[in-house]
Structure 1
Amino acid sequence: MKHILFIVTSTDKTGTGKHPAGYEFSEIADPYYEFINKKYTVDFASIIGGKPPFVGYDSSQKVNKTFIESNGFKRLNFSHKLSYIDITAYDAIFFPGGLGLMTDMVDNPLVKKIIKEAYENGKIIGAVCHGPAALLNVKLTDGSNLLKGKKINSFTKAEEEEDKHTLGDVIPFMLDEELIKQGAIFSHTKPFESYVAIDGNIVTGQNPASASNVALKMIDLITA
């Protein structure tokens, strides 16, 4: 049996405007069922443990409604504190998006350590939408930046602008621009269409529409 760890933000406010933040609901719900349908075990960890905040719940979306009524959602609301996790127990780690992550994972030393160890041990690393913010500032054993020369994508500046996510007030930086600054080879498609980039054991998706496909690509790599 394969084991996946979802690493989730604990931050509920973002920007100088103190806008509601957290994980994007569908970016956990959709991938969760892709993994569960393949009989994978999914565990949840967050920066401080306990009940992570979320945004974007839509009861008209069947998968959202199914997940919020599920045992998986109950377990998510008792998430492990990340510092208690033994990453060697997992085949893959996954970072769902949400604006909260742009605050509590960009420079978190434990997040950087976990990503470094997962990458260097050949574990699959997935991230979607704002989730790739967790991949920033990861230094590998040889001193190089994880992102240098990697094919990566994320939520784009065009999508931030459509969502009226203004710099400072809502978001601390433009994620696509920061990924490029750190050496990523950034690619994308039209706003809010599904798009996934794969580079070795790293899988990144552009937006909420990409979340299921990130999980499916991760499954392909795990079973390869």
Structure 2
Amino acid sequence: MSDKRETGTLVVGLGRFGSALANTLDKLGREVLAVEKDIDLAQQWSHRLAVVEADATNPDAVRQLGAKDFPVAVVGVGTSIEASVLVTANLVDLKVPQIWAKAISAEHGRILRRIGAHHVVYPEYDAGARVAHMVSGRMLDYIEMEDGFAVVKMRPPRETHGMTLGEAGIGSKYGVMVLGVKSPGEPFAYADSSTRIGPKDLLIVSGDSAMLEKFAHRS
């Protein structure tokens, strides 16, 4: 790992968030070094990931891990705000270029930003907001970007069944854009005006979140 730190990711904390993130990065072929102070969690993941049992709230421990050599560090500690802040501060002191930190509240997030975290994520809030959109209509997946822009996977409204995108005039009528269509048994295809919409198709649609909600609730 020592010769690959310049392209790797340091993940502190192997709770549900940290372990899912570290495991996914590993599957994507990224070099990952996980740090976990709980001996049971460290041993649980040691056969899948490179794991060091250490207390990252201790600045000397973080320094000895070579944290400063990583371009990206993720602080997955969330249950203890004090521990989260101390770990983040240690990484800031070592001038890690990109620090991502998990927050469990808006106040927690503000503290993390003030001490130098570059990115703050709210997994529980984001998951709740995402599911809220999904359970309220035809949306099967929902990803919100910035300024109210979102991309969703959804079933097509009944009024568009059997029509091409050009005939349906979705862009002009509803103010959203169909990026692609997935028909049963067929590969995903980028959409154009000649793409025909079937009742069992899946649409990938982008646009303002409020407009997407209105489109998804069409009969």
- TM-score after normalising by structure 2: 0.40
User: Higher helix share goes to which structure?
Assistant: 2
Select the structure with the greater relative contact order (CA < 8 A; seq sep ≥ 6).
Answer: 1
> Which structure is higher in strand share?
2
- Larger radius of gyration, structure 1 or 2? 2
